[in-house]
Amino acid sequence: MTEGLKEGLKGSRLAARDLTLAYEDRTVVDGLDLAVPDGEVTIVIGPNACGKSTLLRALGRLLKPARGTVLLDGEDLARIPTRAIAQSLGLLPQTPVAPEAITVADLVARGRQPHQRWWQQWSEADERAVADAMARTDTTALAERSVDELSGGQRQRVWIAMALAQETDLLLLDEPTTYLDISHQVEVLDLVRRLNRERGRTVVAVLHDLNQAARYADHLVAMKAGRIVAQGRPADIVTADLVREVFGLHAVVVPDPVTAGPLVIPGKPWEGEERAYVPEPGAAERA
């Protein structure tokens, strides 16, 4: 690596350089550069099919770049042994698949595999990590249940527990709040923030809710059609123009009454269909 490149990656254990990702001959992510800031929460937003999951999979080495590289600690991810990657980097995919009839406790325990040795299959540290991950995700009571028979939200929390049990410095989460009711969404996002603030974890998460993204991100990355359109502090980049550019949506951005950060409110609903909402003459009097 050149000195200049090294300098540019200071503060980023995980980075993508000129990353092009494709499925067969269809390019999905094109020449993307990204330096994930260490010790921060990075949130990726963007419309469906813009390449967020594809990017995350490449950062977790589940997908091989068509061109360019992903660097972990300055080294090409492709050249690092799988076990070493799994000790540094955990990835929760958008739609993970559990082995049939596995129990919750067994699935969460699989998060410990990268830490196990042939001479010691299970240690006290493993036990602690699993118990801690389950307590933090409110899944302890589900331990003996079969993963197949859980609700969508329960299952999502179990997957998050498995990712946490891996105890990696870097955590990649693809839509971790999918299926969760609003209080569990907030709980998971608070948990992510706590892991970051208290344990120094670096997190990259994909979220669809712009307002949650703006609240929880230190670093926000807005993607469109396989490219990064804007990145930075939410307060610096979330504007009505950005929302229009990325999502093609009219919106107003006002100060969040709780955090004072940016709050996106979609504007002009049902434009062109107002007639459907005009009350009948005299309706107010009759009500």
Q: Which residues bind ligand ATP (CB under 6 A)?
A: 23, 28, 46, 48-54, 94
Nearest CB to ligand ATP, comparing residues 30 and 138: 30
Which residues are within 8 A (CB) of 16 and not within 5 positions of it... i.e. 6 or more apart? 32, 33, 34, 55, 58, 59, 68, 69, 70, 71
Report the partner that residue 51 touches, choosing among ligand ATP, Mg ion, none (CB closer than 5 to 8 A by kind): ligand ATP
**Which residues inside 210-229 make contact with Mg ion, applying CB under 5 A?**
none
Least CB distance from residue 95 to Mg ion, whole Å?
Answer: 9
Report the partner that residue 28 touches, choosing among Mg ion, ligand ATP, none (CB closer than 5 to 8 A by kind): ligand ATP
Q: Which amino acid is at 182?
A: I
Nearest CB to ligand ATP, comparing residues 134 and 180: 180
Least CB distance from residue 260 to Mg ion, whole Å?
Answer: 30
Least CB distance from residue 173 to ligand ATP, whole Å?
Answer: 13
Query: Pick from 46, 92, 88: which is nearest to 71 by CA?
Result: 88
The answer to the question of residue 53 lying near Mg ion (CB under 5 A) is yes
Q: C-alpha distances in angstroms, 232 versus 57, 121, 200?
A: 22, 43, 20
The answer to the question of residue 54 lying near Mg ion (CB under 5 A) is no
Least CB distance from residue 174 to Mg ion, whole Å?
Answer: 6
Least CB distance from residue 56 to Mg ion, whole Å?
Answer: 8
Q: C-alpha distances in angstroms, 101 versus 6, 105, 138, 147, 162?
A: 47, 12, 21, 7, 16
How far apart CA 184 and CA 37 sit, in angstroms, is 26
Tokens of 237: 């980049």
**Which residues inside 92-151 make contact with Mg ion, applying CB under 5 A?**
94
What is Dmax (Cα atoms) for the chain? Answer: 82
Give residues in contact with Mg ion (CB under 5 A).
52-53, 94
